[in-house]
């Protein structure tokens, strides 16, 4: 019997995603209050820089969080070592995700690094949350009485 539960994952994955969104919004607010403007090209034209919309980090975390939950659910069902595969794919996805911020034309290196920091925070919270909260021995999600 695998040590992970699909029922727990259905709660744990979205909970981890919401936690990652909230922590990143706090990070965004703190860095904005410290003077970061998050100027980037918003219309595909690098001549027109504008501030990053507040909801952009939400969408950028929500979609990977839900996809990660779905992916881990498939791994629980079809893989012998779902955690090992999930961690490997998550790390590869994190490394590939750095291509987004570092390819923003005319954005400052500070903005690129802060956006990369957001990705590290989100990946850590989502990955840890999915693995921890979907584990059958985890006490974070109460089990139903039998």
Supply the range of the domain harboring residue 50: 6-133
Query: Per the domain annotation, does 58 fall within a domain?
Result: yes
Query: Per the domain annotation, does 138 fall within a domain?
Result: no
Nearest to 16 by CA among 113, 101, 90, 111: 90
Decide: 51 and 38 in contact? Cβ < 8 Å.
yes
Query: Per the domain annotation, does 146 fall within a domain?
Result: no
Claim: this prediction has a pTM higher than 0.75 = yes
Query: Per the domain annotation, does 64 fall within a domain?
Result: yes
pLDDT, mean of residues 62-91: 95
pLDDT in tens, 9-32: 999 999 999 999 999 999 999 999
Query: Per the domain annotation, does 96 fall within a domain?
Result: yes
What is the total count of domains within the chain? 1
Query: Per the domain annotation, does 18 fall within a domain?
Result: yes
Higher pLDDT, 81 or 44: 81
Query: Per the domain annotation, does 140 fall within a domain?
Result: no
Q: Can you give the three-state secondary structure of 89-133, one letter per residue?
A: HHHHHHHHHCHHHHCCCCCCHHHHHHHHHHHHHHHHHHHHHHHHH
> What residues form DSSP beta bridges with 40?
50
Given a cut of 90, whether residue 71 has pLDDT beyond it is yes
Decide: 76 and 82 in contact? Cβ < 8 Å.
yes
Query: Per the domain annotation, does 1 fall within a domain?
Result: no
Cα 45 from Cα 127, distance rounded (Å): 34
pLDDT of the residue at 96:
95
pLDDT of the residue at 47:
67
């Amino acid at each position: 019997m695998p040590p992970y539960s699909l029922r727990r994952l259905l709660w744990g994955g979205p909970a981890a995603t919401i936690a990652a969104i909230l922590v990143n919004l706090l990070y965004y607010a703190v860095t904005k209050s410290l003077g970061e403007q998050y100027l980037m090209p918003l219309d595909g034209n690098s001549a027109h820089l504008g501030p990053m919309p507040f909801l952009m980090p939400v969408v950028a975390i929500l979609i990977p969080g839900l996809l990660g939950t779905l992916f881990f659910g498939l791994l629980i069902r079809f893989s012998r070592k779902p955690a090992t595969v999930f961690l490997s794919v998550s790390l590869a996805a994190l490394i590939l995700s750095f291509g987004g911020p570092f390819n923003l034309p005319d954005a400052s290196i500070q903005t690129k690094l802060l956006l990369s920091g957001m990705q590290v925070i989100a990946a850590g919270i989502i990955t840890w949350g999915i693995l921890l909260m979907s584990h059958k021995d985890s006490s974070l999600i109460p089990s139903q009485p039998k």
